[in-house]
Amino acid sequence: MLSTKQRNGVQQNLLAWYEKEGRDHLPWRQTDNIYHVYLSEIMLQQTQVSRVMDEYYPRFLKRFPDLKALSEATLEEVFSCWSGLGYYRRAKNLHATSQLTTPTLPDTMKELLELPGIGKYTASAICSFGYNQSVSVVDTNIARVLGRLYAKETPKDKELWEIADSFLNHVEARSHNLALMDLGSMICTPKNPTCKSCPFEEECLGKNEPELYSQKKKTLYIDKTLYYGIFQRDDKVAMYRSESGMYKDMLELKELDAKAEGELLGTFKHAYTKYRLEVYVYKIDMEGDKAVWIDKEKFAEAPISSLTTKALGLLNG
Ligand code: SF4
Domain span including residue 21:
4-214
CB 253 within 8 A of CB 229: yes
- C-beta 142 within 6 A of ligand 1: no
Amino acid at site 293: W
Q: Domain ends where: 214, 242, 259?
A: 214
User: pLDDT digit string (tens) for 51-109?
Assistant: 999 999 999 999 999 999 999 999 989 988 998 888 888 999 999 999 999 889 999 99
- Please report, rounded to a whole number, the percentage of residues in the chain having pLDDT higher than 70: 98
Average pLDDT, the chain: 91
Neighbours of 159 (CB within 10 A): 14
- C-beta 210 within 6 A of ligand 1: yes
The verdict on whether 252 is a catalytic residue reads: no
Say what the pLDDT of residue 272 is. Answer: 79
pLDDT at residue 220 above 90? no
Query: How far is it, in rounded angstroms, from Cα 59 to Cα 55?
Result: 6
CATH number of the domain bearing residue 307: 3.90.79.10
Instruction: Tell me the mean pLDDT in the region 276-302.
Output: 87
Same domain, yes or no: 67 and 156: yes
Same domain, yes or no: 203 and 230: no
Same domain, yes or no: 285 and 191: no
Fill in the DSSP letter of residue 261: S
User: pLDDT digit string (tens) for 261-275?
Assistant: 879 999 999 987 788
Same domain, yes or no: 229 and 292: yes
Say what the pLDDT of residue 60 is. Answer: 97
- Number of domains composing the chain: 2
- Exposed e or buried b for every residue in 2-18, given b needs 16+ CB within 10 A? beeeeeeebbebbbebb
> 38 C-alpha vs ligand 1 centroid, how far in Å?
29
Same domain, yes or no: 189 and 309: no
- C-beta 144 within 6 A of ligand 1: no
Query: How far is it, in rounded angstroms, from Cα 88 to Cα 93?
Result: 9
pLDDT at residue 205 above 90? yes
Q: Whose CA is nearest to atom 8 of ligand 1?
A: 188
CATH number of the domain bearing residue 148: 1.10.340.30
Instruction: Tell me the mean pLDDT in the region 12-39.
Output: 97
Q: Domain ends where: 150, 179, 214?
A: 214
